Structure 1
Amino acid sequence: MEKLKIKIKRFNGKKTWYQTYVIPYEKGRTILWSLTTIRETLDSSLVYTSACQHGICGSCAIKVNGKSFLACQTPLDRVIDIFKTELLTYEPLTNFPVIRDLAVAWETKMEKMKKIRPWLIPSEKGTKERGFLQSQENFHKIASSTDCILCGICASECNQLRVNGGTFLDPFVWNRAYRYTVDTRDGSPEKHVEPAYKNGLWKCLHCMECVSNCPKKIDLTEEISALRKISMKMGETNNQGARHAFAFFNDVRKTGRLNEVMLPIKTDGMLHTAATKVPFALRMIKTGKINPLEIPRKVEGIEEVKNIYEYAEEEKKQ
């Protein structure tokens, strides 16, 4: 391959259009190199953002053929191999306001970030002489979380943000909430968890797109799960998400399987279920998906399942 064709989504503040450029193909080059080549040799009006060029600042993330990548760290050879094409389409990150071309605005995201208080809240454990020392073991609890470079890729790939962008917090905001909640030097973890709980903590779809595409391999869905558990320990159990989790937990412990007929009732209550779920339930009964008369029987080996629960509870105590 001697030439590479790149189609870029342009925006000048008023109108949007796609513009195609052809540049020489060079093996081993990155997405960012292609953008720099276009701007320096073909079109100086092209707008994109970049700074460190070493995967630290996170400013150069864009979408290529519908998927988000960190431009400075992603070889062109890799995306060509993924999509099996010599035509690459560059677009700005999804779920962000676009300033111009590939440059997006972060102001609304940072306003959301402020809600979870992304800073250490002093405790009374420290002293003037020793400060707030932290063991290596406790540091490792937050080591992965602190790798976040705010590139925005997780937000761009988030399916929940596409339908609840105004209320649902971005995945990197959940990351910050988790990072300060579990930090042993923080004196008020509830001040990070409470605003997270009030801003859609239980709405995450667990589609895993944020985890799959994170350039730093941060397990964001595991962090969200941890925040949910912490919120329940704080007493936030009278909500749809917590009731649903307890219904799963208790059903599996009792019989080893879910009681799908009772699950929505345990989650939403009898009246709400009757008002909103009956037509859907009738369709499931008609197609044979559920049998309202069937009482879930204990699975073979239920004692082993109970043993796992007991073991987990003992581990939690320790």
Structure 2
Amino acid sequence: METITFNIKRFDGERTWNQEYRLPRETSTLLGCLTKIREEQDPTLNFTSNCRAAICGSCAVQVNGSAFLACETQLDALLDTYQTTTLYLEPLNHFPVVRDLVVDFAPVEKGMRKVDAWLCPSKERRDHLQSEADFHKIAKPADCILCGVCVSECRELAYDDGTYLPPAMMNKAYRFERDSRDGERGKRVLAALKNNLWKCIHCEQCSSKCPKKIPVADEVSYLRRRAIALGETKSEGARHAFSFYDDVRATGLLNETMLALRTEGLGKTVANRMPFAIRMVAAGKMNPLHAPKPVPGIESVRKLYEFSQKMEKEV
């Protein structure tokens, strides 16, 4: 029978090391394999689990560098995906490690407090009835089980200084911003904006890896649009977005020469970008005097703008 090697990153509070365990290949979930290792080979191995039904979100771990919910992840699927009989297991990224595969979810709790991730009922309402359409606006984001997969996969958090709101909290901000029963609409948008809403690089890892298929990246885009609708247009992120928006509508092309100036302003651009810009000009990669002319078919591009604006109003 084929033997599967589990190389698990261990941590005892002071020391980190990797330890190998071997199991015969069988039809099982990743959580089933971890449980078997602990029960039959090493009772000191630490990991968390509870419901075994993809509801509690407590068993997420990294396998070969990607986050998975252990209770719903089939061993056969992992082996077929990675084409190997050796799996490397580690705790989730961007969380303090408590022991072995166990992480501290305190950053999630802190993020929930930042966005007031709970319903603040409107004082003018005497009931909590919702239309079917309003319910469907929050049905998918409400599926979040706070497993931490999106947080572990977030590429922005890998370089963040601790000020960026994790994807799970962006989802919470969106969920209550769109709840028709809430009496503080706009509050979560401003909270997300305060916590670097515009830093999201739209790598889509939060959406593609979410066990519940929540489109977190789309929710971030909505929060940005709401921030602009609320008049928050002076941030660098908003100015950067408007540069793309205005240039493409005007000519169908981005005016890269003016992008930094419009985003950061003259002073910051000169201080931070001038040496790079000079090298670009010297290498013939940028012409500071070039102004893009409208591309053929620009009217069709502008019609797409009109259509998207109409759809935005209807939503």
Please state which band the TM-score falls in when normalised by the shorter chain: over 0.9
Task: Show the counterpart of 2:95.
Answer: 96
Identity level (%): 50
Q: Distance in 2 between matches of 1:98 and 1:3?
A: 29
TM-superposed deviation, 1:313 = 3.0
Q: Distance in 2 between matches of 1:306 and 1:163?
A: 36
Q: Distance in 1 between matches of 2:310 and 2:59?
A: 46
Deviation track 1:257-313 (CA, whole Å, cap 9, x = no partner) reads 111101111111112111111111122223333222221010101111122222333
Q: Distance in 2 between matches of 1:165 and 1:110?
A: 18
Task: Show the counterpart of 1:32.
Answer: 31
Q: Distance in 1 between matches of 2:313 and 2:58?
A: 43
Aligned residue identity for 2:58: S
Task: Show the counterpart of 2:300.
Answer: 304
Match of residue 266, structure 2, among 266, 270, 278 = 270
Task: Show the counterpart of 1:20.
Answer: 20
Equivalences for 1:1-318 in 2 at 5 Å? 1-26=1-26, 28-127=27-126, 131-164=127-160, 166-318=162-314
Deviation track 1:204-233 (CA, whole Å, cap 9, x = no partner) reads 111111112111111111101110111111
Q: Distance in 1 between matches of 2:2 and 2:310?
A: 63
Q: Distance in 2 between matches of 1:35 and 1:317?
A: 50
Deviation track 1:17-54 (CA, whole Å, cap 9, x = no partner) reads 1111111211x211101100100000011100000001
**Aligned with 1:132: secondary structure?**
coil
TM-superposed deviation, 1:317 = 4.3
**Aligned with 2:248: secondary structure?**
helix
Aligned residue identity for 2:61: I
Q: Distance in 2 between matches of 1:165 and 1:85?
A: 36
Q: Is the 8 A contact 1:95 1:165 kept in 2?
A: no
Aligned residues: 314
**Aligned with 2:220: secondary structure?**
helix
**Aligned with 1:164: secondary structure?**
coil
TM-superposed deviation, 1:108 = 2.7
Q: Distance in 1 between matches of 2:80 and 2:291?
A: 51
**Aligned with 1:265: secondary structure?**
helix
Aligned residue identity for 2:100: D
Aligned residue identity for 1:3: T
Q: Specify every segment of 5 or more residues in structure 2 that has no aligned partner in the other structure, as ranges.
A: none
Q: Specify every segment of 5 or more residues in structure 1 that has no aligned partner in the other structure, as ranges.
A: none
**Aligned with 1:183: secondary structure?**
coil
Deviation track 1:49-104 (CA, whole Å, cap 9, x = no partner) reads 00000111110000011111110001111111111111111110011001100000
Q: Distance in 2 between matches of 1:88 and 1:313?
A: 48
Q: Distance in 1 between matches of 2:118 and 2:23?
A: 45
**Aligned with 2:8: secondary structure?**
strand
Deviation track 1:135-187 (CA, whole Å, cap 9, x = no partner) reads 11111111110111111011111111122152111100000000000111111
Q: Distance in 1 between matches of 2:307 and 2:6?
A: 56
Q: Distance in 2 between matches of 1:315 and 1:10?
A: 51
